Chain A
Amino acid sequence: MRKSFVGAALALALVSAACGGNGSSSSTTGVSASGGSVKEGGTLRIAAFDGIDSLNPYVGVNDDSYAAYAYMYPQLVQYDPQAEFIPEFATSWTHSKDGLTWTFTTQSGAKWSDGQPLTASDVAWTFNNILKFKDSVTAGSAGVVQHLVKADAPDPTTVVFTYDSPVPAVLANVQQTSILPEHTWAQYAAGDGKALKTFANTPAKDTPTVSGGPFMVTQYQQDGTTIFEKNPNWYGTPPHIDRFGLEYFSNEDAEVTALKTDQIDVIENVPPPSVKTLQDANFNVFIGPASTYRTFIINSSPFKKTNPELMDPQVRMAFEYATDRQQIIDTAWLGHAQPGTTIVPTTAGIWHDSSIQPLPFDIPKANEILDGLGFTKGSDGIRVANGHPMTYDVLFPGSERGAGDRAFQIIQGGFQQIGVKLVQKPAQGVYGIMTAPDNKYLNWDLAMWNWTPPLDPDFILSAMTCHSFGNWSDSGYCVKAYDALYAKQARTVDEQARQAIVYQMQQMVYDDRPYIVLNYNDTLNAWSHGWDGFVQSSQGLFSALDKQSLIAVHQT
């Protein structure tokens, strides 16, 4: 499963964000094709690969689950295709000069799907509830209430958040938080709140889930199909479609076959080898930049004493010279990726430092560096460093199977040419292996994995800090100067100033190379010609970033 942190973030968000959303845009081209008639009604059938693992926002972790919550529940704000914040349940917002008080004005006259009023007090209850149990039941959402003291609803259309310290990513945080109906959920929050997680939130026979978004769930089967019907009490623009269904497929081949044989209408994540197949079969295929990227991780834990040659920045540079990114993109991703550089992906817009360039694939240069360090090659062609051959295991999580196997083979081939032997070690529960023992990160050297960070860079930057050990860190990277910069950007209000610090941090991480970022993936989705109007985001046409896509989609 991909590490996706839209929602489950334990981000320490300490930077004050711009008010009302601003900043220059990223290049997400999410414009849907225009032209053609708009037919109302119909059932949109979407093929999902991860599936919705739970309808309970305190339990689910899959990408599809978060996207589902975005369509079931209101969020105060949402992203537009240029990754800017635009109104959703909140029609406008302001904040005090010191950034400690944020005030949101919400929709008036809104109702939940069961007819109960949907007001600012539901918003306040939602956030206060997360606050109340942030050390236990709601620990997974603790990041969104960092430094929040309380949330109040002085009147039905006003919410006031009070912080004890300026929080930069307030908008990003509230964007991720689904507003839950207090009248349905409050009963589970009694006592220790454990019932909040065991409540299945599934629809009963003639009773859909109580929803506040454009759709409500009328049928749910984990590992099966979930049906979302139009919510008649939705306060926003009504969707064109009557309903949509998310059908879970356990293999991607079947998705493609199902699209071709008209059993489904949309594939939300087209596997790269199938892009050409679908284009040739004359389906609509969208290719755009995504926030997902692949990493080759070099253990940087200061506690680790074995294989010290791996801590040498020269050795790491040689490794990057030996990595043929282009071949990986061509073979593993069939061209649907871009060469990777920094840990903040291009979809983050102004936060991505585009001045950082990847090192080219240059075997002679890599050999030169390693020769210069005195690591002579043995009779089997493998270099010897610090008295042992340069042979290393590479931890390989199940989520990387398929394309990742090919990427590994290519990297392995490149390293072989510079006298380093890599052995692929597939593992489940990789994170547990990485942190052992006691969060010291001692038992591994190399790994491959991926990230899909939120659009605000704070989260991914925090994953490289010392206090992220045992938390989000998968590299053991710990540099005091970096942590100091992180704390600084967390307090910097001015966007330009913050950007400068964020760029400095990216350069630092790039030079130290705890990661060799292999490539930024593309988001690939496909749909049949009977439909049009999707709004694309950096996470495709069905994502947790906005509600617009499935509201705008229509039959042609």
Chain B
Amino acid sequence: MSAIANEPGIVADAPRKRSRGGLVWDVIKGRPSAAVGAVIMGIFLFIAIFAGVIAPYSVHTQVGPVYGVPSAQHWLGLDDGGIDMVSLLLQGARVSLIVGFAAAFVATVVGGGVGMIAGYFGGKPESVLMRITDYFLVIPDVPLMIVIATLWGPSLSHVIFVIGLLLWTTTARIIRAQVKSVRERVYVKRARAMGASHWRIVFRHVLPQIAPLLVANVVLTVAVAIFDETALAFLGLSDPTAVSWGSIIEHAFLRQAISTGAWWAIVPPGICVALVIMGCYLVGQAIEDALNPRLKVAHLSVRGFRLRPLVGMDKDTL
């Protein structure tokens, strides 16, 4: 998802008018779709947290025949192990969301840190860090994910690590650009002149300014991370003991759900993934838009087809 900058730099901060409701109100007012997105996310978060309680059946026990058809007791039928699909989907929400958020968290912490250092200190550290970021960007991520998942063995923590490893770069670029712009602001310069330490400036001035951007970033990264986990599970490289939406699709694919006509084993998990990704996108996009309508930030892009953000392509990078 990207709204690419068609001017190379960050627009200097225009004075922002805040309405009385604050940022959240701005967001919702500006984009009603954000509300939709938030509701979707809310529903799935609720499901993920309470899956153990609200799931009607266990995901380890066979309750009927292989690929049982949808019925009154099993609204979405049974999978290839005779396990209730509804329970699988609810449980899958948990794993998919956990992996998504954890990987996004890793990516944001690493990327944010790198971007912060590069943007704040500039000069040598900046060009070194940015070069490293650039090199990481050209690595095709899905093949790399496959290789690492195979070499290190499939487990959820490895999956989280791998995805995080690939997604931090875009965050780094965005944060760096924003930090640079904040650094130039009058009050920061004044603080420096008064002898404030770097730590103080970062925590009191820079961080609050980029916090909303970080939040938007996390949300958008979650979308990509969930997609990546689904892809890895499909290829058999995620943790097989974990029930995720990706593994539900994988099992159905491996066990001839399509030619058996068991559409209920394959259609619902894809829809769930799509809803969550859409929700993430709507919310994240809305936050970014509200921050500064003229802030053209290249968002995290397509899963698997990563886009190098053109933001930050100011004269310093040439």
Contacts and interface: CB of A to CB of B under 8 A. Distances in A.
B83 to A, nearest CB: 9
Nearest to A428: B150
A273 B60 contact: no
| Closest 4 pairs between A and B when the two form their complex, measured CB to CB | A256-B259, A402-B254, A273-B256, A253-B256
Interface in A229-278: 251-253, 256-257, 260, 271, 273-274, 276-277
A427 interface: yes
A439 interface: no
Nearest to B257: A253
Given A331-B81, A405-B251, A409-B81, A426 B259 contact: no
A520 interface: no
A406 B259 CA distance: 19
Contacts of B81: 331, 405-406, 409
B80 A406 contact: yes
B153 A427 contact: yes
A413 interface: yes
B261 interface: yes
Interface in B236-268: 236, 240-241, 251, 253-261
Given A331-B81, A406-B80, A257 B254 contact: no
Q: Which of B61, B236, B261 has the most CB of A within 10 A?
A: B236
B254 A424 contact: no
B240 A424 contact: yes
A402 B259 CA distance: 15
A274 B60 contact: no
Interface string B47-68: 0000000000000111000110
A423 interface: yes
A412 B60 CA distance: 9
Given A277-B261, A405-B240, A424-B241, A271 B154 contact: no
Given A331-B82, A401-B236, A413-B61, A425 B153 contact: yes
A424 B82 CA distance: 20
Interface string A411-436: 01100000000011111100000000
A398 interface: yes
A403 B236 CA distance: 13
B247 to A, nearest CB: 9
A277 B254 CA distance: 16
Chain B residues touching A, range: 20 to 34
A413 B80 contact: no
A426 B153 contact: yes
Contacts of B154: 426
Given A331-B82, A426-B154, A277 B240 contact: no
A425 B82 CA distance: 23
Interface of B: 60-62, 66-67, 80-82, 150, 153-154, 236, 240-241, 251, 253-261
A319 interface: no
A412 B61 CA distance: 11
A409 B79 CA distance: 14
Given A253-B259, A334-B66, A409-B81, 14 more contacts: A256-B256, A273-B80, A273-B260, A277-B259, A396-B240, A401-B236, A402-B255, A403-B255, A405-B251, A406-B80, A406-B81, A413-B60, A424-B241, A427-B153
B66 A273 contact: yes
Interface in A178-213: none
A253 B258 contact: yes
B58 to A, nearest CB: 10
Contact of B260 (A274, A396, A426): A274
A331 B236 contact: no
15 contacts: A256-B256, A273-B66, A273-B255, A273-B256, A274-B256, A274-B259, A276-B260, A331-B81, A402-B255, A403-B255, A405-B251, A413-B61, A423-B241, A425-B153, A426-B236
A413 B259 CA distance: 29
Contacts of B153: 425-427
Contact of A273 (B62, B67, B236): B67
B256 A398 contact: no
B261 A426 contact: no
B174 to A, nearest CB: 36
B259 A260 contact: yes
A483 B257 CA distance: 46
A405 B150 CA distance: 18
A398 B236 contact: yes
Nearest to B83: A409
A376 to B, nearest CB: 24
A334 B80 CA distance: 10
Interface in A345-380: none
Nearest to B241: A424
Contacts of B67: 273
A412 B259 CA distance: 29
Counting chain B CB atoms within 10 Å of each CB, the highest count among A277, A396, A412 belongs to A277
A394 to B, nearest CB: 10
Interface string A314-342: 00000000000001000100100000000
Contacts of A403: 255
Contacts of B256: 252-253, 256, 271, 273-274, 277
A257 B66 contact: no
A401 to B, nearest CB: 6
Given A273-B80, A406-B81, A401 B241 contact: no
B259 A401 contact: no
A253 B80 contact: no
A426 B66 contact: no
Nearest to A433: B153
Contacts of B236: 398, 401, 426
B91 to A, nearest CB: 14
Given A398-B236, A406-B80, A423-B241, A253 B253 contact: yes
B240 A426 contact: yes
B259 to A, nearest CB: 4
A425 B154 CA distance: 8
A283 to B, nearest CB: 12
Nearest to B250: A401
A271 B240 contact: no
A413 B62 CA distance: 10
Nearest to B254: A402
A243 B260 CA distance: 31
